[in-house]
């Protein structure tokens, strides 16, 4: 999957979102995606992610996308914390988000 295709699919679920995809392997099947939208205000993390994950179900089943790590944030959270660094499960840290975030 290409970054533009991924962002367009996320936009079908969260139309006002700004989508920041990072291809973790260069193969288009492992992604770290930051989705920023005011629509997430008042929602818990899983409630923010669940509809996006549902939209990707056919891509998981087909093997087009193997891994999708979502960080769904409000603009206020981005302003307070900044953008999170990409989660690289097979890189340094072996599956842990950086301690700095």
CATH of 3-81, one of 3.40.109.10, 3.30.300.90, 2.40.30.40, 3.40.630.30: 3.30.300.90
Q: What is the pLDDT of residue 60?
A: 93
DSSP three-state, residue 90 = coil
In terms of Cα–Cα distance, which of 20, 31, 35 is closest to 71?
Answer: 35
Confidence of residue 4 (pLDDT cuts 50, 70, 90): very high
Q: What is the pLDDT of residue 94?
A: 46
On the 0-12 / 13-18 / 19+ scale of CB atoms within 10 A, 101 is: exposed
Confidence of residue 42 (pLDDT cuts 50, 70, 90): very high
The residue ranges of every structural domain in the chain are: 3-81
pLDDT digits (tens, 9 = 90+) for 43-99: 999 999 999 999 999 999 999 999 999 999 999 999 998 888 766 655 554 444 444
Higher pLDDT, 39 or 101: 39
Higher pLDDT, 35 or 99: 35
Q: What is the pLDDT of residue 6?
A: 96
């Amino acid at each position: 999957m290409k970054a533009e295709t991924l962002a367009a699919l996320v936009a079908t679920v969260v139309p006002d979102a700004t989508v920041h995809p990072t291809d973790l392997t260069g193969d288009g099947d492992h992604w770290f995606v930051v989705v920023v939208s005011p629509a997430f205000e008042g929602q818990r993390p899983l409630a923010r992610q669940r509809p996006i994950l549902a939209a990707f179900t056919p891509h998981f089943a087909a093997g087009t996308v193997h891994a999708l790590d979502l960080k769904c944030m409000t603009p206020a959270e981005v302003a307070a914390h900044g953008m999170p660094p990409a989660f690289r499960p097979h890189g340094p840290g072996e599956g842990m988000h950086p301690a700095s975030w």
